[in-house]
Amino acid sequence: MDHNHPQFLDGLNMDNDYFDLSGPGPGLMETAARPSGSGATPTSRPPKPKKHTSNVWQCFDVVQKTMPDGQLMDRAQCKFCEKHYVTSRGGTDHLRRHMEKCMPAHGQVDTTTQTQLQRHPDGSVTTWRYDAMHARESMARYIACTDQPINFGDNLFYEEFIQTAYNPQFKSVSRTTTRNDLIKCFQTQRDELKAELQHLTVSIALTSDIWSACSKQDYITVTGHYLDYDWNLQKRILGFRLMDGTHTAKIFLKALCLF
């Protein structure tokens, strides 16, 4: 058949068919459908859902919630209280804040951070958690035992040192707060000592001495020595006062009578 014959060409749709007659030998070598329009692009694959990499998603599920306008939106649902929160690209700080409050309330332990253990004097081991009040009490005891100034912890460089080297949650306090913590610590230990001495059935030996501070001030102390129920020798400071004047026997006796 002659492919160049007018009758053959009239039977083809010139707008939809494409044929190549340049190949070797006579005859129609290729007939293919021409894409309609100015140009067609291949069908693209649907985007893959974004993978959640934050460890807070161990406590949340992604669910779809119907909005008032009827649209379905993704929401983060807590696995413990089933509350819903917005999921966005802005971050997961709001989810972490909820997790830190919700998990302890439901008796759960946060496994998204590394657990630190604390060993007690009796040999037991428990999970360590930072306690700001306990840190303040320890600071007050350290200042009292080492004769440090009250504003020892009220320093930005000290706060930066503790946060960098030991605990990023540490916050320094003012000298007024430290002073109040010192008074509270003294009152607590005084009450505990009174309760302990009231139940003693042995005698208490008293000694006295003069102690000089780094501020060039002298203090007189009265120390009690006694045996506890396990026959261990104990000693406690029962009196502590500022001593003015020279260290003569008369002034020393006068200071002792003030206790």
Model pLDDT for residues 54-113, shown as the tens digit of each residue: 777 778 888 888 878 888 888 888 888 888 888 766 678 788 888 888 877 765 655 555
> Would you state the pLDDT for residue 111?
52
- Distances from the Cα of 166 to the Cαs of 7, 52, 158, 159, in angstroms? 94, 30, 11, 10
Contact 127, 116 (CB under 8 A): yes
| Per-residue confidence (pLDDT) for residue 115, from 0 to 100 | 53
Q: What is the pLDDT of residue 113?
A: 53
Examine residue 27 and state whether it is found in any structural domain, yes or no. yes
Number of domains composing the chain:
4
222 and 166 within one domain: no
- Judge if 145 and 195 occupy the same domain: yes
Q: Distance between CA atoms of 76 and 54, rounded to whole angstroms?
A: 13
Which amino acid type is present at position 58? Q
**Better pLDDT: 209 or 115:** 209
Query: What is the distance between the alpha carbons of residues 112 and 103, in angstroms, rounded to a whole number?
Result: 11
Please tell me the predicted confidence (pLDDT) of residue 233.
Answer: 92
Domain contains 46: no
Q: What is the pLDDT of residue 181?
A: 93
- Is 51 contained in some domain? no
Same domain, residue pair 163 and 212:
no
pTM, two decimal places: 0.47
DSSP bridge partners of 20:
30
Residues 98 and 153 in one domain: no
- List CB contacts of 153: < 8 A, sequence separation 6 or more: 139, 143, 159, 172, 173, 178
Which of helix, strand or coil describes residue 30? strand
Q: Parallel, antiparallel, or unpaired for β 117-119 and 84-86?
A: unpaired
Which of 40-54, 72-86, 178-192 shows the lowest mean pLDDT across its residues? Answer: 40-54
- Once rounded to an integer, what is the mean pLDDT over residues 208-214? 80
Q: Which of 140, 143, 138, 144 lies closest to 240 in space, CA to CA?
A: 144
Using CB atoms within 10 Å of the CB of residue 208, give its burial: 0 to 12 exposed, 13 to 18 middle, 19+ buried. Answer: middle
Q: What is the band of 14 on the pLDDT scale with cuts at 50, 70, 90?
A: very low
Token couple for 209: 């001495």
CA 189, chain centre distance (Å): 31
Averaged pLDDT, 12-35: 47
Selected residue with higher pLDDT from 188 and 254: 188
In a domain, 48, yes or no: no
Query: pLDDT tens digits for 122-168?
Result: 777 666 677 888 888 999 999 988 888 888 888 888 888 888 888 88
Q: How confident is the model at residue 117 (pLDDT cuts 50, 70, 90)?
A: low
Is 55 a domain residue? no
Whether 241 is in a domain gets the answer yes
The tokens for 203 are 């005698």
240: Cα within 13 Å, side-chain hemisphere: 10
- Range list of H helices, the chain: 6-10, 93-105, 132-146, 156-165, 175-198, 249-257
The order of strands in the sheet holding 233-243 is: 205-212, 218-227, 233-243
* Domain carrying residue 14: 1-33
pLDDT average, residue stretch 195-220 = 84
Query: What letter does residue 12 receive in the DSSP assignment?
Result: S
Please state, for a pLDDT cut of 70, what percent of the chain lies above it.
70
CA distance linking residue 133 with residue 170, whole number of Å: 11
For residue 65, is it within any domain?
no
CA pair distance 108, 63, nearest whole angstrom: 22
Q: How far is CA 142 from CA 3, 11, 122, in A?
A: 106, 104, 23
Q: Could you tell me if 143 and 171 lie in one domain? A: yes
